Amino acid sequence: MLTCGNGFPLAVALSGANVNDHLLLPTLLDRVRPLRGRAGRPRHRITTLIADKGYDYPSVYSELRQRRITGYIA
């Protein structure tokens, strides 16, 4: 599950229990829809991602770099 800073769910993906979290990250990022509610154009992309140690893989860093997302991984 990918949420915003307030805990509002932005995207959900289901997988088996033995699938690593970092393998589902591209799927979750692709499923995020534009946020609505504020005046003006809706936001279309994520700018920052905060994740736990389960996402500390070189493939995650390269995926975030390609999408121009700043990643903070513990």
Q: What whole-number distance in Å separates Cα of residue 18 and Cα of residue 69?
A: 27
- Per the CB < 8 A criterion, the answer to whether 35 and 69 are in contact is no
Mean pLDDT, rounded, for 49-68: 93
User: What backbone torsions phi and psi does residue 65 show, to the nearest 5 degrees?
Assistant: -65, -40
At residue 34 the predicted structure's pLDDT band, cuts being 50, 70 and 90, is confident
What pLDDT is recorded for position 67?
93
Q: What is the length of the chain?
A: 74
Choice between 40 and 7, residue whose per-residue pLDDT is larger: 7
Considering the entire predicted model, what is its pTM? 0.80
> In angstroms, how far apart are the furthest CA atoms of the chain?
42
